[in-house]
Structures are given as C-alpha cells and as structure tokens.
Amino acid sequence: MKLEKLSNFVKRPGPLVFIVMDGIGDTDKIEGNAVKSALTPTLDKLKKTALYTRIKAHGTAVGLPDDTDMGNSEVGHNAFGAGRVFAQGAKLVNKSIESGSLFRGEVWNNLINNCKANNSKLHFLGLFSDGNVHSNISHLKAMIIKAAELGIKDICVHILLDGRDVGETSALEYVDPFEEFIKETNSKYNVNCRIASGGGRMKITMDRYEADWNMVKLGWDTHIHGNARKFRSAREAIETYRKEINGVIDQDLPAFVIVNDAGEPLGKVTDGDSFIFFNFRGDRAIEISKAFEMDDFDKFDRGKRPKVMYAGMMEYDGDAHIPKTYLVSPPAIDQTIGELFARNGIKQYAISETQKFGHVTYFWNGNRTGKFDDKLEEYVEITSDILPFEQRPWMKAAEITDAVIKAILSKEWDFIRLNFANGDMVGHTGVYQAAEIAVETVDLCLARILKAVDEVKGIAIITADHGNADEMYELDKKGNISINKSTGEPKAKTAHTLNPVPFIIYDPLYKGEYVINDNIKTPGLTNASAVCINLLGYKKPDIYDESLIKFV
C-alpha cells in the first residue's frame, strides 16, 4: 500500500479539506429547488471562479442495481472512501434471492427449522417500501413465499412506514397491495400471514448512531410486546392518524398494533420464535439488533426478553459483528483511502455531527468501525439535537465549522474530511423554507472554512454524496410538479433525488497545474478519491477509478 509521489505536483503547505454537503444536489431545474432559491453567494462564486464540474451520485455509479435507484449517504461515503464501485446492499440481496443462495444458506434454514421444531412464529421487521435505500418490499415477499413453501404456518410482519425514500404519504400504496398478496399467499399455502404492528420510521425502531434510544424502545414495545395503540388493520391505523394529526407524513406516524376481535395483539413475539430484520442497510438496523442480541443491554428496560432466533438481512457492523447471524454477506470493501493514508503516514481528521458521524468514519472506511492508526487519526462527533430538523435547520453546522477551522489552522492534519448534514436531514422533512435555511447555513460555513484554507495555503474540495434539497416537490411522470388536491399546494418531496452533485476544487495557489479530466465518460463519486490522492502529492493506485483531474 505504498503510495508513489507525483513528479509534477507537490502537496500545498496547508491541508486538503474534503467537504461533503450532504443532500445538496446540482441541477438547473428551478421549481422546487431549495438549493437554487437559497441565498448561496459562496457556492455561486465557486462555480464561476474555481474548478467545477458535476458528478453522478446514484444508481450504478455507487453500486446500486440500476440508474432508477437514488443514491444515499451510506453508499455515497462508501464510494468516496473506496475509490471504486462495489455492489451494494440491494444488489447483493437481489442476486442472493435470484440465485437461491439466501435460501440455501445455513442461517435461513436454521430460522425455518427453529419455527418447525417449536411450532412457532416467523417474524419479519423492516422498512416497508421499495425505496431500495434501506430495504425493498420485494425481498420481504420473496422470503414470505419461500417460508410458506417450506411449511411455515404462522408469519407476522411488522412494518415501518417510509415516506422518506418514497412518496411522503404513499403508505397505503404499499399496504393495500400487500394485504392482497397476503390473502393470496394464505389461500395458496394454507398459512396465517398478517401485518402485526407498525409505525413511522422516524418515530419508532430505526434510530441511528444512538441519537435517540427512545425510538428503539417504542419499537421494541410495539413489535415485541404488542404495546401500542390498537387497530384492526394497518389501513385503519394510517387513516386514523392522518385524520387526527394534521399534515402528518408517513415517516412520522405513531406506533400501532393490530389486534383480533378480543383486542389481543396478532403478533407478539414469544419464546421459540424466529425473527428477521429485513433491512439491508446498516446504520438504522444496529440498535434494534443490539436490543435483540445483547445480554448486558442497558439502553432501556426490555421487559421480558423473549428467547428468539434473530438474524439481520446483512451484517450491519462488520467489526462489532452485529448481528451475530445474517442472511447475506455485505460487500468486502478493502484498501480505502482512509487505510491508504494511514499506512503512508498521512494524518487525518474526520468530523460531523451525530447524524452523519458514522458516514465520515464507518462508511468512509468501508463499513469498518474504529481507526486504522490512533496516532495518525482523530474522529470528532458533535452531538446532534434531538428535535425535528425543520425546527432548527442550521443543526450543528456552526460547531462543526468552528472545529474544522481550528483543525485547519493547527497545521497538524494533512487531510480533513467533514459532513454538513443540513441539506439531507432538513430536506427529508419536506419543509421548503427550512431546506432553504439549511442550504444557506452550509454556504455561510463554506465561506468561513475557505478563509482558513486561504490563510494556511491549503486546498478545499466541495462536493455532495447525493441530492435532496434540490428537489423539494414531488414530480409526476412528465416532470411536472404534483399538486396536493386537498390544499392546492405542491406536494412535498422528502426523498433523495437522481440529480448529479457539484464537484469543486478551491486552490488559492492554483496556477493551471491541473484541469478537470474530460476523458471520463460518466464521472461519479468514486472518481473523487483519486483527486484526494493526487492533491496530496501522490499517484493513484491502479485499483482506483480514474481521477477527476489531470495534470497539464
């Protein structure tokens, strides 16, 4: 892993600062574009005066099945860190199901045999949509059919409503067809499959980075113990909450439990059951997995912890081995630039707030927890606020900026990477004005950081991992804004976008030594890694994708 120095370029005196403006895509479309309508003098000036291009941040460019798949922060930071494309979660699971390898695996067969031996229930829990970011409902259906074919008679499905990676109020577009699917499956195979519990993904179960363990507790109480508001069907729960909570979107719907005529939950988890968490993405699956598996768990009172056989769709944390058993192996991402730099004595500083801290560390390092070299690396987490992001769209950008400026001026670090979460986390709320403020906040922080870069004669790379705030309204198939019939207002979009992202190099000492490489047919996030290596004064290794710059 020895890096070879460039003969025609020497590292600048100051550090290379890699800035990820999470969720800030780059498109010329005007309507619904909070990035365009926001006041962004810093970005506007950079696009005119610095080296600037656009790069692809979705689909095949980041290892997803096809170009209709939105990028996300996890695969985006994997791509930045890896410098080449690896097949990602959805693609790996698709192949595993299509080939049948998932169903031939030891874990799947142990889960099935456990149910048969104990005459017990098989439970499925996960994000209930085809957003293909955390999960895909097609994977759930395939497993239910296979389980039914293998003779499992009692199947419970615990649904986490999306409204974030898909339409914000699209829950019934998944629930209604799924109920028909269940009806047909039950009739064909003589099984008892049903939806047992649920709730919005930002209300229960799917917390990440230990930002709000109460979300996980609410999910545990709902799915495991059947303790939540009772309804006769998922449709009834969704419609009732929508009537009672003005403007609520799917991701924020409260927990619910489905009960029988006697008011008893249809899917409480009991000793001897098997349980599958069918999300393939790791960040929002780790905490609930810990609740199932850890004997010395102390984050909340689990009550009576049922003795179940638990498995995740994938291994969500490869270093901590969470969960202990899983159905599909994650991509083996090796020789990331984090490791490459550590092995070559390049000092690294990584920072973000809680919501994206794992992205500049764990995901950047190829789904690896911890540092490569404690002496050469420092990771800083700024604690996120626990409240709706539209209420505080500036989030912790100022605190991150303060720390980054201090790190730049210290001249201690060669490579500094940071993530501003604002464009993504606030974009997910669907609140346009808040998204504008989020983008403006990032722009203000950029100006402060660039001033420090000037002072020490460093270089800054400004980019994003995917779009979000750049498309705040739902579009129809013709690309026109969808209108909410009840309000007459544009329908808010809370999902990521398929738009490219900016890639900007700000170099105060630039004298034309390099230019944007126009020989790459479809430049993407992975091509940014080689730029980092180049601007630190080294040749890229052969295994890395082509650099976005070329020396002249």
**Residue range 184-229, pLDDT digits in tens:** 999 999 999 999 999 999 999 999 878 899 999 999 999 999 999 9
Instruction: Determine contact, residues 386/210, Cβ cutoff 8 Å.
Output: no
* 10 part of a folded domain: no
Last residue of a domain, one of 265, 296, 328: 328
Per-residue pLDDT band for 421 (boundaries 50, 70, 90) equals very high
Q: Is the pLDDT of residue 381 over 70?
A: yes
**Which pLDDT score is estimated for 480?**
84
**Residue ranges making up the domain that contains 224:** 90-328
Q: Are 396 and 356 in contact (CB under 8 A)?
A: no
The catalytic residue among 7, 37, 73, 274 is 73
> Residue 131: inside a domain, yes or no?
yes
pLDDT at 442 over 70: yes
Bond preceding residue 306 cis, omega within 30 of 0:
no
157 and 245: one domain?
yes
- Pair 102, 38 in one domain: no
Q: Is 73 a catalytic residue?
A: yes
Residue 515 lies in a domain: yes
Per-residue pLDDT band for 485 (boundaries 50, 70, 90) equals confident
Final residue of a domain: which of 328, 352, 384?
A: 328
Which pTM was predicted? 0.79
Average pLDDT, the chain: 95
Residue-level pLDDT at 210: 87
Same structural domain, 167 and 187: yes
53 and 147 together in one domain: no
Are 145 and 157 spatial neighbours (Cβ–Cβ below 8 Å)? no
Q: Are 349 and 406 members of one domain? A: yes
Reported as a single tens digit per residue, the pLDDT across 21-72 is: 999 999 999 999 999 999 999 999 999 999 999 999 999 999 988 898 889 8
What are the backbone angles phi and psi of residue 155, rounded to the nearest 5°?
Answer: -125, 125
Q: pLDDT tens, 253-290?
A: 999 999 999 999 999 999 999 999 999 988 899 999 99
Closest by Cα among 452, 443, 552 to 504: 443
Residues 276 and 362 in one domain: no
Is 111 domain-assigned? yes
DSSP string, 289-329: HHHHH-TT--SS---S----EEEEEE-SBTTTTBSSSEEEP
CA atoms 242, 248, 250, 256: torsion sign: negative
pLDDT tens-digit profile of 70-121?
898 989 999 999 999 998 888 899 999 999 999 999 999 999 999 999 999 9
Same domain as 514, residue 371: yes
Domain count, the chain: 2
**Does 513 lie in the same domain as 415?**
yes
Report, as an integer, the average pLDDT of 397-410: 98
CATH number at residue 177: 3.40.1450.10
The pLDDT confidence band at residue 319, using thresholds 50, 70 and 90, is low
Question: Do 230 and 345 belong to one domain?
Answer: no
> Does residue 172 share a domain with residue 55?
no
Is there a single domain that holds both residue 370 and residue 231?
A: no
Note the pLDDT of residue 318: 65
Residue 1 lies in a domain: no
Residue 213 placed within a domain: yes
pLDDT above 90: percentage of residues in the chain: 89
Q: Where residue 70 sits, what CATH number does that domain have? A: 3.40.720.10
Q: Is 5 inside any structural domain?
A: no
Per the CB < 8 A criterion, the answer to whether 131 and 370 are in contact is no
Is residue 258 in a domain? yes
- Is the pLDDT at 542 greater than 90, yes or no? yes
Report whether pLDDT(330) > 80.
Answer: no
- Same-domain status, 118 and 263: yes
Q: Give the span between the Cα atoms of 143 and 312, in whole angstroms.
A: 13
Which two tokens mark 222? 């709902």
Q: Give me the pLDDT at residue 482, please.
A: 87
% of the chain surpassing 70 pLDDT: 99
Residue 332 binned pLDDT confidence (cut-offs 50, 70, 90)? confident
Last residue of a domain, one of 328, 354, 386: 328
